[in-house]
Structure 1
Amino acid sequence: MGVRCSPEIGSPAEDFAAPFELYQDSSGGENWRSTNHLNRKHEVPVAFRGYKLKSGESERTGLRATPIVTLSRGADSVGVAVPHFWQNFPQAVEATSNSLTLRLFPQQSTDSHELQGGEQKTWTFAVAFGSDATPEALEWSRTPARAFASPKWYCESGAIPYLSPKVDDPNADYLKLVDAAIEGADTFDAKREKIDEYGWRHFGDIYGDHEAVYHTGPQPMVSHYNNQYDPIAGFAYQLMRSGDLRWLRHMEELAAHVIDIDIYHTTQDKSAYNGGLFWHTYHYVDADTGTHRSYPRSLLQLKGMPGLDPNDPKAQRSKSVYALGGGPANEHNYATGLMLHHFLTGSAASREAALGLARWVIDMDDGSKTVFRWLASGDTGYASQSRDAGYHGPGRGSGNSLSALIDGHRLSGDVAFLNKAEQLVRRCIHPNDDVPKRNLLDVENRWFYTMFLQALGKYLDHKIERDELDAMYAYARASLLHYARWMADHEVPTLSRPEILEYPNETWAAQDMRKSEVFKFAAKHATGAEKARFLERAEFFFRDSVSRLTAFETRTLARPVVLMLSFGYMHAHFQRHPEEAAPPPKVEARDFGRPEVFVPQKVRAKKRAKLLVVAGVALGLLGVVALVGWLLLK
């Protein structure tokens, strides 16, 4: 009988005596006792740095184990290898004279293992038997071979419109902003180390360091990014553009985290929540015991919010949300990266997660699933509202819903997704909209209208790919051009008006890249002088976004880098192909009528409830009058 183990990547296999135990208690990093690991008692339960390896009566320690352990008895052998062992601490591997045990939630931990409502956890490990059960034979699991096409092949396939190889992109200043994620002193790996973004619940997520810019405490402020603006997709784009496998690693690790922890795996809550994606940590506060839920339980965090008086109405509203714990919402629904992860790796879990987020859009808008169904039928409006329940125009919520539905249709071919997408297009935008009435220049409250226009461009590309140049294609195309014309006349760089912003920071410069992309989509559907004007505006906003962001010392914070990962790569394509043109509709352009005002189910239900109360009171009064009259006549 014999136990052999290679505890870390690069370490040779050694013989050990039974009983054998390798237990990883913490990440082994410099900040292994980070408050990121607070438990329900508000304690950091990790007991020591790194791992302990016990063999017989001897013991030694190390920092970061990625173990391969084999057990042999006579001609029989079994082995296990765990690729992300230390990253998903606590974990343990044990061997006795007749057993080999991998403990995923190990009993050696001093704390309980708590799954919050709707969380799940998936581990990956390799098991081998017989002649394959040797440390040498299992070494492949640490750095498995992967097969991918060349950037040229990915880009020329047309599967991702406007994608071009990184080597053909002449915009070096833009590429430098993108590569800050994997190169330099402030990479996403370096960010992880600051708050020790490791452990079975945290590994794979991005540290939202942009939320800590006003933090002055002795310990780093913990903030979880939870896939805001879809860095999974950004990693996929950059992998296909460059072939650099660092992007693959980040894509896979974040996708695994989002699928398990950030998606709300339940059918027992509200239809507006079930299966949704949790928001990032609330702005400028520490995650505390809230982990990857949006709001920490502690209301004391409000005192640290910049510019916020805990006694003003805004703070009181925030406190009420804190008490609720926060829930998923349409404004934080990002499915594209999960779809691309499935296409690139074949991951069935990512496919189902992306489809689930598309189904969530339909479910949250289904009035038959709410308590208001007894008073009013029809759609809730939860799929299309942005910022507040009364706005159902072009916005972040409606844009994310539209994008997720397109992804769902692309993955499955289920016409229900496309039908819902087209319903939202008709609800949220119209070729004859009075755009100034949308108040889109109120940047704090309406900046996100460009997110919807980007999704509208994606919808048009999807229709072109399917050769569905029908009436809805004509409607969406006319709507995009209508808003682009207004933008060309009125939009300016957001930071050129810093006085209108609460926090004029680097993110505004990055968000302006969206304006450049909207103009590119519009140019594709325009002709002549108008096409030239849209291309000029696209060039202007691209250059302005890159130059303003580059000027910020905070340009490498998580949020602006994520925005650069997903937006801006279109520019190189249009530089090479300014003549790119979309086909016209196959139906003759017609009068699209007048825009209709959408009224959410809850509003209609409340109105009917009031009418029922008034009617009930009136009937009651009539009854009283009738009774009095009867008594008088008696």
Structure 2
Amino acid sequence: MQSQHHFSLRVPESGKADTASFSIGIPLSQGLCYVHQPLHCKRNDNQLVMCAFTPLAWWPDHSVKWLLLEGHTPVAGINESQFWVEPKQTAAIKVNQEHVASLESESTISLTTCNWACQLSKTTLFDGYFMLAGKRWTFSFNSQFTGEFSEYHSSLTDWHVEPKYCDQPDGSPAFIHLALYYELSSGRPDLAPIKLQVKLGFEPALGLARITTTITNTNPAEHNGGTWDLGDPRSVFIDNMSLSISSEQAYAAIQVSPDTAIVSINLDGHLWQRASGGSRWDSPNHLNHARELSIHDPATHFIVDGITQQAPARPEPAALLTSQNVQLSVSPDRFWQNFPTSLAAEPGKISWSMFKAEPGLPVELQPGEQKTHSAIIQAKSETVAKAIIANATISADWFALTGVFPRLSEHLLSDPLQSLIGEGLDGPSSFFAKREAIDEYGWRHFGDLYADHETDGYTGDTLFTSHYNNQYDPLLGFLKQWLISGDQRWRELADDLARHIIDIDIYHTELDKPEYNQGLFWHTDHYLPAETATHRTYSRHHKGNAYQDHAGGGGPGGQHCYTTGLQLYYFLTGCQAAQQAVLGLTDWITTVYEGDDTLFGLLLSYKNRHRIDLKNISTGTYPLDRGTANYMMALLDSFEITNDLQYLQQVSYIIRHTVSPDDDIAETRNLENVENCWFYTVFLQAVCRYLDIQSVVGKNQDYYYAVACLVHYAHWMADNEYPYLEKPDILEYPNQTWSAQDLRKVAVLSIAATYTSEDNALRFRAKAAEIKHYVVNAISSSNEKHYTRILALLMQNYGIDTIECTTSPTVVETAGKFPVSIQRDKGWQGYVFHVIKRLSVKREWQQLQKRVPALRRKLS
């Protein structure tokens, strides 16, 4: 047995089951195992764990870096067990794996194995049957829309099935993942179809399945005047969207929560969640496009056979069908949090409505918006082991040992800022308490964070609602806290936020301006309530002079792009939506800075060449700011997912075209102008991340150039930097956000100290310690310390000095390692040639229509 376990599992004490099912992505040390090597998973009581392995990422030597485990193991002793993965020491037992047999006709798709079957209609929307616990269950899908999609045509555009194996004696797949892709068309040529994605994950041996549905409005928004309010002409209005499962002669029942009695249904039963069940149910969060409350009745309705039953305000329900000693249950995930939802039952049939709107108040899915719902389906019988879903936690020691995420270890728990971060879990200002403060619930809002810092100075009587939209990557912060502490509440916050970011905060269209498509929306405008813009930044109801330098208008922008939390979430969960979000955001921010390869885009880039927040196409240089840093971080995240060296090479190119080791910082960079230049530290943090990755891939000229730039700027910082609030008069809004941003200086100086001489390292660390001491004292004594933005910044940036303070500095000799005079592209000529080489009249015309909505509307 290994000395260091990789992960542990926990099941609820009240859970009555024989077998625990789990899924977790774990990191592996470089060289530990390769794809061709058979692996096994074991417990410390020497029990083998039935496990399917899927590599998610690789080290440069092609060994596995991240590995997704899907498995199950006996519940007995599980909470005291430790688990690890290793290559098998003996030859693998050859098992003839049974492939999923597929038969496709004009009207159906049939899939079978020895213990499972599924048939799907190709002509109707998600209709067919599947086998669980040896019994056939029929399913169907129903959608009702108001407006243009009240009558729609559905088509299955793609599907695929993926079996995964655990070397079971009969060779059958332990896990079967089925994905189906539909389009719903309205018939209007100017409206893009709605997309519906349905994913089913089966564990036949345990009678388990998970269903996940994602509905997407792929249309572009009008955003007239740069505002993004509800009521857009291309919004989709949903009255109901439901999944039904049926079996003839089956008894139906509903259990409103795990600790309540099961209620049998003779005629019909209906549990309808119309609000959150919280005291702030009438929050302005729930305004509709008419600026009216979209909730008329906040009560949870539970009616059985015409009689109103008692139900908790926040149920965690399951609907059940029982037939021939087999019981099937459907348990929606986050049921009350994602209202309006419902569960209904009648003899032989149960129905789960992902959307169940009040009469006359349909759910509005905005252009570019999507929503994902999921539920667990479980069939129990005498022949199927009783199963429960276990929570997996990675060993913090093992995580640090692998080096997949440098400077993330349990040592962070000893940092003096850790206690402040811990207040995000407990107390009146925790992230959970903030949800209650503005009722941050409902299908659109749940998972996002309350941007309570925007209320600073607000004296009104009504609730001030503001949405955070992942600024400074609190998703990454939550995952870091979960990894070092093992506290499942951090993981809960991360799961909820990840889903929200992927669905709501990303603009899911390809039909708007290229610099908007697939981008991340900004947070709510500063010092203003969200109004009817929800998570879309700017509302037509906002005042134009809300604060100094108020901009107003605009869509997704490169200054607000955070992908590292999504990347880590993908590695920890195998969530393909998170993977695609990272790659999509990388494509989007690349377009923001490099253009869309059209003549019109070329002209636009030339027009904007003097904008301080965009690449200057005349000189080929990038701004020394957080937008460029975000661009680099997205490229680095995509490289770690794909191992495509082009991403890494682009980061090297950006560094060369932004900074130089011989920059005259004092004369040319104007870093004393804090309001306009503070984010140079964000750029340097991205350089540090690049160095971490490039050092593993190989130390080349680009690596040494980046080291020289980092150390050069660190020298200036050691001589000139100070805590921002020591000079409050030069700041527009001198608040503790500036102290939290100071941590970036601490991080850069602490990392730069590891690349230089001992004397320089002492100087860098002394400056870092001086600033850190100020930050700890300033924030600890501040009444702003509970603000979301403060906590997000702390989680993102703290602790680097705590980790690196004992690292012995190693001089990285850069002299002679790269050309003395770096040849920078001038940009303009090369870009013109590049665009001309790719010139396509059709593409030029398509992109022009996207940029000019009036033209698109006229042609439609």
Which residue of the partner structure matches residue 154 of structure 1?
399
Query: Is 1:414 matched with 2:644?
Result: yes
- Shift of the 112–521 alpha-carbon distance from structure 1 to 2, 3 Å rule, reads same
TM-aligned CA deviation for residue 100 of structure 1 = 0.9
The 8 Å contact of residues 514 and 596 in structure 2, kept in 1 or not, is answered as: no
- Shift of the 384–343 alpha-carbon distance from structure 1 to 2, 3 Å rule, reads farther
Of residues 317, 323, 328, the one that matches 1:67 is: 317
The 8 Å contact of residues 235 and 250 in structure 1, kept in 2 or not, is answered as: yes
Q: CA separation in 2, counterparts of 1:424 and 1:580?
A: 27
The 8 Å contact of residues 357 and 363 in structure 2, kept in 1 or not, is answered as: no
The more displaced of 3-12 and 445-454 is 3-12
3-state DSSP of counterpart to 1:459: helix
Q: Give the aligned length.
A: 580
- Shift of the 132–478 alpha-carbon distance from structure 1 to 2, 3 Å rule, reads farther
**Structure with more of its chain in strand, by fraction:** 2
Q: CA separation in 2, counterparts of 1:107 and 1:38?
A: 14
Which residue of the partner structure matches residue 440 of structure 1?
671
TM-aligned CA deviation for residue 383 of structure 1 = 12
Q: CA separation in 2, counterparts of 1:114 and 1:442?
A: 44
Q: CA separation in 2, counterparts of 1:257 and 1:600?
A: 42
Which residue of the partner structure matches residue 623 of structure 1?
none
Instruction: Normalising by structure 2, report the TM-score.
Output: 0.64
Letter in 1 for 2:583: L
The 8 Å contact of residues 276 and 314 in structure 2, kept in 1 or not, is answered as: yes
Which residue of the partner structure matches residue 585 of structure 2?
357
- Shift of the 254–388 alpha-carbon distance from structure 1 to 2, 3 Å rule, reads farther
Query: Is 1:266 matched with 2:504?
Result: no
Instruction: Normalising by structure 1, report the TM-score.
Output: 0.85
Which residue of the partner structure matches residue 122 of structure 1?
372
The 8 Å contact of residues 70 and 133 in structure 1, kept in 2 or not, is answered as: no
- Equivalent residue runs for 1:570-609 within 5 Å: 570-575=800-805, 577-581=806-810, 584=813, 588-593=817-822
**Deviation per residue, 1:504-553 (Å, 9 max, x gap):** 11111111000000101210111121111111112222221111111211
The 8 Å contact of residues 204 and 257 in structure 1, kept in 2 or not, is answered as: yes
3-state DSSP of counterpart to 1:444: helix
- Shift of the 423–292 alpha-carbon distance from structure 1 to 2, 3 Å rule, reads same
The 8 Å contact of residues 413 and 484 in structure 2, kept in 1 or not, is answered as: no
- Shift of the 70–584 alpha-carbon distance from structure 1 to 2, 3 Å rule, reads farther
- Equivalent residue runs for 1:108-507 within 5 Å: 108=358, 110-129=360-379, 131=381, 140=388, 144-166=389-411, 169-171=413-415, 173-299=416-542, 301-302=543-544, 305=546, 307-308=547-548, 314=549, 317-318=551-552, 321=553, 326-370=554-598, 372-373=600-601, 385=613, 392-436=622-666, 437-466=668-697, 468-507=698-737
Q: CA separation in 2, counterparts of 1:409 and 1:56?
A: 57
Q: CA separation in 2, counterparts of 1:524 and 1:427?
A: 24
Q: CA separation in 2, counterparts of 1:221 and 1:83?
A: 29
Query: Is 1:78 matched with 2:322?
Result: no
**Deviation per residue, 1:172-204 (Å, 9 max, x gap):** x31111111112220001111111111111110
Of residues 76, 87, 94, the one that matches 2:337 is: 87
Q: CA separation in 1, counterparts of 2:518 and 2:369?
A: 11
Q: CA separation in 2, counterparts of 1:552 and 1:388?
A: 41
Q: CA separation in 1, counterparts of 2:776 and 2:487?
A: 23
- Equivalent residue runs for 1:16-31 within 5 Å: 16-31=265-280
3-state DSSP of counterpart to 1:122: strand
Q: CA separation in 2, counterparts of 1:487 and 1:231?
A: 27
Letter in 1 for 2:573: T
Q: CA separation in 2, counterparts of 1:401 and 1:280?
A: 18
Letter in 1 for 2:750: K
TM-aligned CA deviation for residue 336 of structure 1 = 0.2
3-state DSSP of counterpart to 2:435: helix
TM-aligned CA deviation for residue 386 of structure 1 = 6.2
Q: CA separation in 1, counterparts of 2:436 and 2:615?
A: 33
Q: CA separation in 2, counterparts of 1:381 and 1:9?
A: 61
Of residues 44, 47, 56, the one that matches 2:293 is: 44
Q: CA separation in 2, counterparts of 1:41 and 1:59?
A: 32
**Deviation per residue, 1:299-344 (Å, 9 max, x gap):** 3x446x3x55xxxxx45x53xx2xxxx3111111100000111111
Gaps of 5+ in 1: 309-313, 605-634
Q: CA separation in 1, counterparts of 2:779 and 2:727?
A: 15
- Shift of the 221–151 alpha-carbon distance from structure 1 to 2, 3 Å rule, reads same
**Deviation per residue, 1:339-379 (Å, 9 max, x gap):** 11111112111111112222223233343445535659999
Which residue of the partner structure matches residue 535 of structure 1?
765
3-state DSSP of counterpart to 2:489: helix
Q: CA separation in 2, counterparts of 1:601 and 1:13?
A: 70
Letter in 1 for 2:705: Y
The 8 Å contact of residues 231 and 566 in structure 1, kept in 2 or not, is answered as: yes
- Shift of the 159–593 alpha-carbon distance from structure 1 to 2, 3 Å rule, reads closer
The more displaced of 53-62 and 100-109 is 100-109
Q: CA separation in 1, counterparts of 2:382 and 2:828?
A: 64
- Shift of the 377–176 alpha-carbon distance from structure 1 to 2, 3 Å rule, reads closer
Q: CA separation in 2, counterparts of 1:377 and 1:387?
A: 8
Q: CA separation in 1, counterparts of 2:718 and 2:521?
A: 35
The 8 Å contact of residues 335 and 357 in structure 1, kept in 2 or not, is answered as: yes
The 8 Å contact of residues 6 and 14 in structure 1, kept in 2 or not, is answered as: yes
The more displaced of 67-76 and 507-516 is 67-76
3-state DSSP of counterpart to 1:54: strand
The 8 Å contact of residues 162 and 573 in structure 1, kept in 2 or not, is answered as: yes
**Deviation per residue, 1:457-510 (Å, 9 max, x gap):** 0001111121x2111111111111111111111111000001111111111111
Q: CA separation in 1, counterparts of 2:675 and 2:383?
A: 59
TM-aligned CA deviation for residue 384 of structure 1 = 8.9
- Shift of the 177–374 alpha-carbon distance from structure 1 to 2, 3 Å rule, reads closer
CA RMSD, aligned part only? 3.0
Q: CA separation in 2, counterparts of 1:356 and 1:296?
A: 26
3-state DSSP of counterpart to 1:104: strand
Query: Is 1:57 matched with 2:306?
Result: yes
- Shift of the 601–43 alpha-carbon distance from structure 1 to 2, 3 Å rule, reads farther
The more displaced of 65-74 and 485-494 is 65-74
Q: CA separation in 2, counterparts of 1:128 and 1:9?
A: 14
The more displaced of 357-366 and 383-392 is 383-392
3-state DSSP of counterpart to 1:124: strand
The 8 Å contact of residues 557 and 592 in structure 2, kept in 1 or not, is answered as: no
Letter in 1 for 2:297: F
3-state DSSP of counterpart to 1:103: strand
Q: CA separation in 2, counterparts of 1:459 and 1:65?
A: 47
Which residue of the partner structure matches residue 612 of structure 1?
none
Gaps of 5+ in 2: 1-249, 834-860
